[in-house]
Homo-oligomer: A and B are copies of this chain.
Amino acid sequence: MTEFVKAIETKSISLELANKVLDAALVKGKEMGIPFSIAIVDRTGNLKAFAAMDGAPVLSLDIAQNKAFSAAAYNRATHEWYDRLKDDPPLLHGIVHTPRLVIFGGGYPIKLDGELIGGIGVSGGHYTHDMQVCEAGLEVLQEITQG
């Protein structure tokens, strides 16, 4: 007999952890000297913490949030999309039109002990720059897990 599942338990990033990740990303951003927008979302893609560095381009505000949303909402780093799309024309010409879905680098799922708890998204430089800022933020997770 199958059990009646009444509720699903999920974990989502706390504001305290979100701010640690955000702060680590900001340190990297300042070091790189590019004005980035940095967004942390919870497991469901809703905004948890955000900072726009002084001078961040207006367009970066939404792109950062959409990258974080994309990463959490699909549990996939945004730079992993293109390899899966490039030889699949219906997806390449279709799924890229999904509102808020970003398919270039700068968005990563945030995981705790292998479990999705949120997302980080960065915009303001080329996506290779944005990815470095995300990775600096995510180092906080590695320190926590190892600590």
Contacts and interface: CB of A to CB of B under 8 A. Distances in A.
Question: Taking the full assembly, how many copies of this chain does it contain?
Answer: 4
A146 interface: no
A48 B98 CA distance: 20
A47 to B, nearest CB: 6
Give the secondary structure class of A's interface: mixed
30 contacts: A4-B16, A4-B17, A5-B14, A5-B16, A6-B14, A6-B117, A7-B117, A8-B12, A8-B14, A10-B11, A10-B12, A19-B51, A44-B46, A46-B58, A47-B50, A48-B52, A49-B51, A57-B75, A58-B72, A59-B70, A59-B73, A59-B74, A59-B98, A62-B99, A63-B98, A79-B90, A81-B90, A90-B103, A90-B104, A90-B105
